[in-house]
Amino acid sequence: MPPSRWLRYVGAFLLPAPCWAPRVRWLGFLRQPSLVHGCPVLGAWHSARRWCQAWTEEPRALCSSLRMNGDQKSEAYAREKWDFIQHFSQILNVLTEETGHPETGDAIARLKEVLEYNAIGGKYNRGLTVLAAFQELVEPKKQDADSLQRVLTVGWCVELLQAFFLVLDDIMDSSLTRRGQLCWYKKPGIGLDAINDALLIEACIYRLLKLYCREQPYYLNLIELFLQTTYQTETGQTLDLITAPQGDVDLDRFTEKRYKSIVKYKTAFYSFYLPVAAAMYMAGIDGEEEHANAKKILLEMGEFFQIQDDYLDLFGDPSVTGKVGTDIQDNKCSWLVVQCLQRASPEQRQILQENYGQKEAEKVARVKALYEELELPAVFRQYEEDSYSCLMGLIKQYAAPLPPAIFLGLACKIYKRKK
């Protein structure tokens, strides 16, 4: 009997939850209190049930089953998100309270405005991942109010790092909108002063880590993690900028190898590895092997995420994504242009050469039409399915001893996303 069929038969007996199985939060049936929380019987049931489903279902069906855990999961997620958003007011007060230096009052007022405009309004996925991963890794009795306050704060540090990057990235890309509103530098009276505002946001990360985590054994690990991630992301941004300088269109630079390097450093480290690694350190998991294995999964997930972003930049709905894409105008080394170059005839490459990296609307439209002629939307859909299957294989191979739910939950959040 094929292994997949055997797993289906076994899974059929494991799918109904025993009457003594605890109610769980955050990821519904994917939570695994067992291996981390020390309950071997529940562990065997949770693990067998989850893996029988995960490795015998198609990606679409698996994500559907994750999402169909119904109102209970949605309500739990809504509560977690509400708690996370509410915590922002606390850290805002901490960062902008009276410092004993009244002469800096105007600067503190500016900081408050900067934080309220740029840190709020996103999906909060990166910050919430810190919370979700921590709850998977630490047994409930050790999740006291103080530790959860620290986790929420570190989650907001990840969100502030994102805000810091985005304020500067919008300036460099000449972007117009972000999260459904004008980019910060585009607001009247702001302009290039936004550069200093971004530096203020970055400084807040280390103020918060010091205020909330200085006495914890993982403090140094967190400081080093944020510093290293910032360097990696800025390295990726450098690769992005020198590969696609404005006004100098060189299609030969747009190779798949260069694209993967940009994505790995510019997106994957800070969007996926950082939040999970932060939770691991806070849970006392600092082994090199555990972090290396998590990184293998999460960097692949980051590449998947960025390719989605590149696709949505052109083919997404701005009313849903919250931003107007400018990758074509900005001469970006995006997944779409790399795929186009791999498939284009000499005549089509010439069309790309004449129109890519130009601001005129008709030239942007011509590039989009070329992508459609080459059926890149269909290529993307096939890539999405293949990449998701690859992620499932990596999770199966490298997740242990961490709960696979951490990685499965992230994968299903981004699979088929529209923004």
Q: Does the pLDDT value for residue 51 go beyond 70?
A: no
Question: Is-catalytic flag, 210?
Answer: no
Lowest-confidence pick of 60-69, 182-191, 233-242, 376-385: 60-69
Contact 395, 276 (CB under 8 A): no
Band of the pLDDT at 49, cuts 50, 70, 90? Answer: very low
Q: What long-range pairs does 391-399 form, CB within 8 A, spacing at least 24? A: 391/297, 391/300, 391/301, 391/304, 392/54, 392/55, 392/59, 392/62, 394/296, 394/297, 394/300, 395/54, 395/297, 396/51, 396/54, 396/55, 398/293, 398/294, 398/296, 398/297, 399/293, 399/297
Q: Quote the CA–CA distance of 278 and 134 in Å, as a whole number.
A: 9
Is pLDDT above 70 for 218? yes
Cα–Cα distance measured from residue 395 to residue 110, given in angstroms and rounded to the nearest whole number:
44
**305: annotated active-site residue:** yes
Over range 321-344, report the average pLDDT.
92
| Residue-level pLDDT at 61 | 52
- Is the pLDDT score of 277 beyond 90? yes
pLDDT digits (tens, 9 = 90+) for 6-32: 444 334 333 333 323 333 333 333 333
Distance linking the first and last C-alpha atoms of the chain:
42
| Token code pair at residue 307 | 């390719």
19's tokens = 């009457």
Give residue 71's pLDDT.
57
Task: Please report which confidence band the pLDDT of residue 57 belongs to, taking 50, 70 and 90 as the band edges.
Answer: very low
* pLDDT value for 26: 35
Q: Phi/psi of residue 181, each to 5°?
A: -140, 170
Mean pLDDT of 42-71: 46
From 226, 254, 305, 380, the catalytic residue: 305
Q: State residue 298's pLDDT score.
A: 97
CA–CA dist 399, 384 (Å, integer):
21
Instruction: Establish whether 327 is a catalytic residue.
Output: no
Angle at which helices 288-315 and 404-414 cross, to 10°:
10
Confirm whether 173 is a catalytic residue.
yes
Q: Catalytic annotation on 330? A: no
Residue-by-residue DSSP string for 87-121: HHHHHHHHHHS--S-GGGHHHHHHHHHHHHHHTSS
Rounded mean pLDDT, 289-317: 95
Query: How far, in Å, CA of 67 to CA of 137, rounded?
Result: 22
> What is the arithmetic mean of pLDDT over 309-337?
90
Q: Does residue 146 carry a catalytic annotation?
A: no
Q: What is the pTM of this model?
A: 0.82
**Residue among 170, 197, 309, 313 flagged as catalytic:** 309
Token representation of residue 206: 């280390």
Active-site residue flag, 272 = no
**Choosing from 169, 207, 253, 349, which is the catalytic residue?**
169
Q: Based on the residue annotation, tell me whether 309 is a catalytic residue of this protein.
A: yes
Task: Name the band, by pLDDT with cuts 50, 70 and 90, for residue 118.
Answer: very high
Whether 263 contacts 143, CB under 8 Å: no
- In this predicted model, what pLDDT tens digit does every residue of 119-170 receive, in sequence order? 999 999 999 999 999 999 999 999 999 999 999 999 999 999 999 999 999 9
Active site residue 178: yes
